[in-house]
A and B are shown apart, each in its own frame.
Chain A
Amino acid sequence: MDLNKNKPEAAPARRRYVTTRRLDRIFVELAKVYRFNARFFKEVWFPPYEFREIIKQCYEIGVRSLPLISLTGFIIGIVFTNQSRPSLADFGATSLLPALISVAIIRAIGPLVTALIAAGRVGSAIGAELGSMRVTEQIDAMEVSATNPFKFLVVTRVLASTLMIPALTMFTTLVSLLGGYLNVHQNELTSLSVFFYQVFDAITFLDIIASSVKSVIFGFTIGMVGCYKGYNSSKGTEGVGKAANSSVVTAMFLIFIEELLIMQVINTIRAF
């Protein structure tokens, strides 16, 4: 017997837009991104606030990233210091090492490395989690039980990541400086107090503010990209992998762009 005869007709091939299809899609996507962000800023102010979930996410994002971030920060501190020494040694200026690494680490390396590692660890986790919740209809289930899934899942995660990435950045910066100190101490026999005196002498208040603002923006980006990709992930298990993957790639890409833009802005401010 013919098993196919009662099948609903297949969809006719969609050929409506041939040339403009890709361009269309970019604009549709941009509009979706805009709406997603706008919804976040609309919903973040109103109750219910889901404090428990925020704290849980802060723990997931902040505390659980600590081991990886500490190790990476520490090693980068050592390596960066070690590799910078020869160029300063040529001028007999190795005494400037603490100042050099302090500026580099606090202004750029600390925030950037933290953000990139978090994009890999946190961004992919958020993307995969929300993606699988979308695919297995858990997000729909929340919605039909009259709970706002956007508030429970997206707002909490974006807030947690916006809060925790700056905290992690401070921590990474400190650990990197410590790594730098160990290397300097070993080679130039500088004491801890002298090292940190030079470190803080080299940086300004603006540096610290700029780094903090930057890491807040990075944190927001990582949370937002992960949530957007996961929340809107396509159906099927394949969608989950895609969501996780593109969360990382997109977040990293945006972080570099933001880094460049912020650097320009800070330089303009510094010039005043």
Chain B
Amino acid sequence: MEAKRINPNIDRSEKVITIRGLKKAFDDFEVLRGVDLDLYKGENLVVLGRSGTGKSVLIKIISGLLQADEGTVNVLGKEVSGLKPREMDALRLKIGFSFQNSALYDSMTVRENLEFPLERHAKHMTVAEREDTIQYVLEAVGLLQAINQMPSELSGGQRKRIGIARTLILKPDIMLYDEPTAGLDPITCIEINSLINEVQEKFNTSSIIITHDLTCARAVGDRIVMLLDGQFQREGTFDEVFESNDERVQSFYNYNFID
């Protein structure tokens, strides 16, 4: 088992995301029923929860892809629901969103995937600077050799890492990882986990990591919350959360470590 994580970079005096009473329903199906969440600067917050509990919905609301029905979502001091498109774009540049299935542009090479945000949002950069930035993030995710490949030629884990590289390239303040380790072998998982921690240290980001993989949660999480029945019901460090006698929490734990 990996060593428990100690993160010296957390600044508890500064909240980057504050959510209060967030509700979201699709038709008659209430997915989120009053979620409260604080994310502190420099912190890795892990959101655990079973499939279909609305974890992806939560971060899609944070990044403005979905609209909340009720409640307030404050990101970097801005209320997400009230933003004009231009303000929303400005905010989105500070948020990196790593999608559950990578969402690489599959008509473009890896290089073009990484150039895409740069061309649009880093117009001041010279060609050489852009090239350097691309090399730098690819090195950070350890995939420099894949630069001229098409996404279809990469493995799932490689795609995930390129996806993370693409979100890193604009140096976001907040990273949202949607199941970064789902569907990967244990060794790649460990690589991704240390990548997430490295990203935190190098770029001093605050991150929300969504997962149902407890190894990942333990390795990257400074704080862990569990999403149960549309609300955050347990909160604390990894051990604190799983000390609970709540049957649902326990079964989550047991199923993860069947030997």
Contacts and interface: CB of A to CB of B under 8 A. Distances in A.
Q: Does B associate with A?
A: yes
Interface of A: 1, 6-8, 10-12, 14, 48, 129, 132-133, 136-138, 140-147
Nearest to B100: A137
B5 interface: no
B207 to A, nearest CB: 15
A136 B101 contact: yes
Contact of B93 (A136, A141, A146): A146
Interface residues of B, number: 39
B234 interface: no
Contacts of B65: 140, 143-144
Nearest to A135: B101
Contacts of B29: 8, 10-11
Contacts of A48: 120
Interface of B: 26-29, 31, 50, 52-53, 60, 63-65, 88-90, 92-93, 95, 97, 99-101, 103-107, 116-117, 120-121, 166-167, 170, 228-230, 248, 251
B229 A145 contact: no
Contacts of A14: 27-28
B27 A11 contact: yes
Given A11-B28, A11-B29, A140-B65, A146 B103 contact: no
A6 B254 CA distance: 14
Given A11-B29, A14-B27, A145-B170, A136 B106 contact: yes
B51 to A, nearest CB: 9
The 7 closest A-B CB pairs, nearest first, are A11-B29, A141-B103, A146-B89, A137-B103, A144-B97, A146-B92, A145-B117
Nearest to A6: B248
Given A11-B26, A138-B104, A143-B65, 12 more contacts: A6-B228, A14-B27, A132-B106, A141-B103, A145-B93, A145-B116, A145-B121, A145-B166, A146-B90, A147-B116, A147-B117, A147-B120
13 contacts: A6-B50, A6-B228, A6-B248, A8-B53, A8-B230, A12-B28, A136-B103, A140-B99, A141-B99, A146-B88, A146-B117, A147-B116, A147-B117
A12 B27 CA distance: 10
